[in-house]
Structures are given as C-alpha cells and as structure tokens.
Structure 1
Amino acid sequence: MSDESVKTIKGTFATRAAADQAIEHLTQEYGLNRADIFVQAVGSANTSGTQPNGSDAPSVRDDAPRTDGALQGEIEVSADLSSEKFSAAMQAFKEAGARHLDAG
C-alpha cells in the first residue's frame, strides 16, 4: 500500500483455532475491519495447521491418532491497519500464539 499511515502485519499459526483467535482479538477487541484481515496457507497445500486441534485431535474414546487432517503447514494471518493500531495488533498476534511475526 502506498499510504504510509497503513501498515501490514503477518503472523503464522500452528492451528486454525489459534489463527481464528487472533482474528477475533483484532476485530472484537481492537476494532479492525474484518475485510482488512486475510487468512491463507503458508505453502501451496491445503492445511488446517501443523498440529492437531479440535476435530483433528484424537477422541477421548479412541487413543489412535487421526491421519485425515490436512496438517500440511502453518496458517498465515495478515492485516492492513493504521499505525495507531499496530502495537495492539502485535499484542493480539502474540496472545493468540503467533509463531513468526513480520511487521512490514
């Protein structure tokens, strides 16, 4: 973006649940517009993260690990935001468990 008052932040997450938590914090707590937040797989493969979570996790009745989850890589969340909201967004990403942060 050419507007110097707008920055982009990117973070990667091990699970879709963690990525969703970051999005929830950004929109509900810090007032970012959902249209300014983007989610995608880090690589070219379809993925739900790198770790089992939620429906990917073993059942309490069955200890066998599931093998049908698309655990092909991390999930990237990025957001375009004003400079004033940048530090709050960094905090939201960290609280949600971002593994890598890029503040471009």
Structure 2
Amino acid sequence: MIVEGNLFYWLTLVLKIMLIIILFELFRIYLDSYKKIKIGYTIGLLLFSSILLFFSIVSFIFVLSSLIIPLNENFPSYTNNMFVETLIQLIAMGILYKITKDE
C-alpha cells in the first residue's frame, strides 16, 4: 500500500534520484581522474563523492519505505525538512558537478 497524501515524499524522491545521478557521475569523473594522475587530492574527492552517494542511496530507500509503510503523525514535518535538505544538497552537488565538468 503506497501512501498518497504527502507531496513532499514524492518531490523528495525525485530530488534524491537526481542527486544520486549527479553523485554517481561525479564519482565516475573522479575515478577517471584518479586513474590518470593518482594523487591524494583525487582520493579525497573519491571518498567525498562515495560517502555522499552512499548517504543518498540509504536516504532514498528510507523515503521510499516511508511511502510504503505509513508512519506516525509526527513524521511528516521531518519529511518536509528532508525535502529542503535534499534540495540544498542537489543544488550544491549540481554546482560541484558543473565546476568539475568544466575543468
């Protein structure tokens, strides 16, 4: 049974998917860079992107499961905050992706 009432669940899921795609692309770019130059800076970028990618995937699963299993009444306000948090992360990763791609 999928919960239909909260638009923020669905918007958060869409943003999470976009964020996961950007983070995966960043990880791929940084991995290619590491294979070419093998310096500590690129290892840091790989760790940075992989940790954020892992966090985003776990968070996506959490939001998706919240759609399938209804939670108590206090939870929707947290979901609204999660939407804003995801939007800010998506903007930040989009900027990082643009900077990385342009170099």
**Same fold at TM > 0.5:** no
Greater Rg over alpha carbons, structure: 2
Give the TM-score normalised by structure 2. Answer: 0.33
